[in-house]
Amino acid sequence: MELRFERLRRLRRSTAMRNLVRETHLHVHDLIYPIFVAEGQDIKKEVSSMPGVYNLSLDRLEPEINEILDLGIQAVILFGVPGHKDPVGTGAYDAEGIVQKATRKIKEMAPDLLVIADTCLCEYTDHGHCGVIHDREVVNDPSLELLVKTAVSQAEAGADIIAPSNMMDGFVAAIRKGLDDAGYTEVPIMSYAVKYASAFYGPFREAAGSAPQFGDRKTYQMDPANVREAIREAEADVKQGADMLMVKPAMAYMDVIRAVKEHFSLPLAAYNVSGEYAMIKAAAARGWVDEKGIVMEMLTGLKRAGADIIITYHAKDVARWLREER
């Protein structure tokens, strides 16, 4: 009796054959590289939990930008490490704040490099929360006023994209109106629409000095158990005028990325966060995993899940690996 079955291995017989039928492709233009810019002089301080990632002062920024350009990376996202903090995060919306100064410097050095400004207060408040505190609670609407001021000041400094990450209700509507009223109608908003209260953020909080000084962020960031709520959050931001959406973190949330992609047609970013980066770096340093192989598989998986854009601390390494493959 003749056996009948599909011979699926026919299309895996060689590298060229596999390349020909590959469904998902990772490209350097998919990548956004995060940069931590710090107040001070001659600072290049490696983040202990994130090997290869540094806090950089403005005078040490140029070599970093030149390397990014040489690798073909087209976008960076800026996070500030200010020299001063206060209860209302004044440094976030100061025209001479660290992100504003870094934005101007980068745009002078590399006018075509996209500069994305993370719009939040947590790095600038002495309590480490993403909004205004009243009776040890983060109050929503007064926080929106300061977030609008922050977004407008970042646009004035030359930011190409505003990326609000605060998870206050109504933040996209408030920032969109603020930008439009200030004349920045062409500046898009990449909304951290679906941001979970995650344990994966630990190394970032070391890098940015933004850990909450009391409590946690579970009253405004999402419960990791919820996916239907993610659709509600994304839908709200779409209605309020977001131009791009984001899911954060990425690796443990591929189902959420897929769900958001299936419901909305806006470009979708996935943030491959600090804890995800740190785990791979730690395992690779001990010889437990093939760093290149696991990073490329993970980022390809994010694209396969539906991400159009990937924010990742691996971006420079990935750009090099992609160049080597070509």
Active-site annotation, residues: 195, 248
Question: Could you give the CA distance from residue 91 to residue 97 in angstroms, rounded to a whole number?
Answer: 5
**What angle do the packed helices 140-157 and 98-109 form, to 10 degrees?**
30
DSSP class of residue 189?
Answer: B
Which H/E stretch holds residue 192? strand 190-195
* Beta pairing class for 54-57 and 132-134: unpaired
Question: Could you give the CA distance from residue 199 to residue 167 in angstroms, rounded to a whole number?
Answer: 17
Residue 297 tokens, joined: 């598989």
Q: Please answer whether residues 168 and 131 qualify as being in contact, where contact means their C-beta atoms are separated by less than 8 angstroms.
A: yes
Classify residue 181 by burial, with Cβ atoms within 10 Å: 0-12, 13-18, 19+. Answer: exposed
Is residue 50 classed as helix, strand or coil in its secondary structure?
coil
Return the closest-CA partner of residue 267 out of 245, 287, 238: 245
Exposure letters 105-120 (e unless 16+ CB within 10 A, then b): bbbeebeebbbbbbbb
Question: Could you give the CA distance from residue 86 to residue 35 in angstroms, rounded to a whole number?
Answer: 23
